[in-house]
Structure 1
Amino acid sequence: MKIGIFGAGHMGGAMIKGWVRSNSISPTDILVKGGKGDTAKKLKQNIPFNITDNLEDFNQVDMIFLAVKTPIILPVINDLKNHLNKDLPIISVSAGVPISLMQEALGGSYPIAQAIPNTPVQINQGITGIVYSQSISNLDKIAIHDCLSLLGIVEEISEDKIDIFGTLAGCGPAFVDVFMEALGDAAVLHGMDRKLAYTVAAKMVSGSANLLLDSNKHPGELKDGVTSPGGTTIKGIAALEKEGFRYATISGIDTIMQSYK
Structure 2
Amino acid sequence: MKVGFIGAGSIGSAMIKGLINSGMSPQDILVKGGHSNRATNLQKELGFELVSDETELKSTEIIIVAVGTPALDNVFSQLKTFVDQQVVVSVSGGSTIEFMHKYLPEKPVAFAIPNTPVSIGEGVAGISYADEFTEQQRNLTKEVFEKMGRLIEVPESQLGILGTVAGCSPAFIDVLIEALSDAGVLNGLPRELSYEVVIQMLIGSAKLAQQHNGHVAELKDQVTSPGGSTIRGVAALEEYGFRNALIKAVDKANNG
TM over 0.5: yes
Partner of 1:50: 49
Partner of 1:92: 90
What whole-Å deviation, never above 9, does each CA across 1:185-205 have from its counterpart, x for those lacking one? Answer: 111112212111111111111
Q: Distance in 2 between matches of 1:7 and 1:194?
A: 37
Q: Distance in 1 between matches of 2:243 and 2:55?
A: 51
Instruction: Indicate whether 1:18 and 2:18 are aligned.
Output: yes
Partner of 1:8: 8
Partner of 2:72: 73
| Native 8 Å contact 2:4 2:57 kept in 1 | yes
Q: CA deviation at 1:80?
A: 2.1
What whole-Å deviation, never above 9, does each CA across 1:143-177 have from its counterpart, x for those lacking one? Answer: 01111010111111110100110000111111111
Q: Where in structure 1 do 4 or more consecutive aligned residues deviate above 4 Å?
A: none
Partner of 1:114: 111
Partner of 2:203: 206
For residue 198 of structure 2, give the secondary structure of its aligned residue in structure 1: helix
Q: TM-score, normalised on structure 1?
A: 0.95
For residue 131 of structure 1, give the secondary structure of its aligned residue in structure 2: strand
Question: Residue 150 of structure 2: which of 148, 153, 157 is its match?
Answer: 153
Instruction: Indicate whether 1:40 and 2:39 are aligned.
Output: yes
Identity of paired residues, percent?
43
| Native 8 Å contact 1:18 1:121 kept in 2 | yes
Q: Distance in 2 between matches of 1:177 and 1:257?
A: 18
| Native 8 Å contact 1:119 1:170 kept in 2 | yes
Q: Distance in 1 between matches of 2:213 and 2:36?
A: 44
Q: Distance in 1 between matches of 2:160 and 2:137?
A: 24
Question: Residue 247 of structure 1: which of 227, 244, 249 is its match?
Answer: 244
Q: Distance in 1 between matches of 2:55 and 2:98?
A: 25
Q: TM-score, normalised on structure 2?
A: 0.97
| Native 8 Å contact 2:30 2:57 kept in 1 | yes
Q: Distance in 2 between matches of 1:4 and 1:171?
A: 26
What whole-Å deviation, never above 9, does each CA across 1:34-89 have from its counterpart, x for those lacking one? Answer: 111221112112100011122221111111000111232232111222134x2311
Partner of 1:193: 190
Question: Residue 136 of structure 1: which of 116, 133, 136 is its match?
Answer: 133
Write the letter of the residue equivalent to 2:85: D
Q: Distance in 1 between matches of 2:12 and 2:245?
A: 30
Gaps of 5+ in 2: none
Aligned pair count reads 256
For residue 36 of structure 1, give the secondary structure of its aligned residue in structure 2: coil
Instruction: Indicate whether 1:105 and 2:103 are aligned.
Output: yes
Q: Let me know the Cα RMSD of the aligned residues.
A: 1.1
Q: CA deviation at 1:106?
A: 1.1
Write the letter of the residue equivalent to 1:8: A
| Native 8 Å contact 1:95 1:166 kept in 2 | no
